[in-house]
Amino acid sequence: MILDLPDLCPQTHQTGEKIISDASSKLHEYYTEVLRLQNYAARQAKLYKLANMVEQFTQYKTEVLKAWSVFNFGKHAFPFCKFETNYYTYRNL
């Protein structure tokens, strides 16, 4: 997932990959040692599905904000918070 962010410097990519690796190890340990689940693939599949839904929603919002900036629907046409619109504007300057 960190690979989807091309604007980051190599050190940030390395840090992101380390965080993902550490989190994966800790999650595996939690499932096998604490919950004592040997087969936790169903839970992982739900997490992947949730992450995919978030990605699709983010893509949708980006497309709506692109349309908003191109067609100038007005300041209050979409119920996005100021952070979202400012971030979109910043990313697309």
Per-residue pLDDT tens for 24-45?
A: 999 899 989 999 988 888 888 9
Angstrom distance (rounded) from CA 40 to CA 52: 19
Burial (CB count within 10 angstroms: exposed 0-12, middle 13-18, buried 19+), residue 9: exposed
Crossing angle of the two packed helices 41-71 and 82-91, in degrees rounded to 10: 80
In the predicted model, what is the mean pLDDT of residues 55-80?
A: 79
CA distances (Å), 79 to each of 57, 66, 68, in order? Answer: 14, 14, 12
Quote the tokens at residue 81. Answer: 């918070």
Q: Model's pTM, two decimal places? A: 0.53
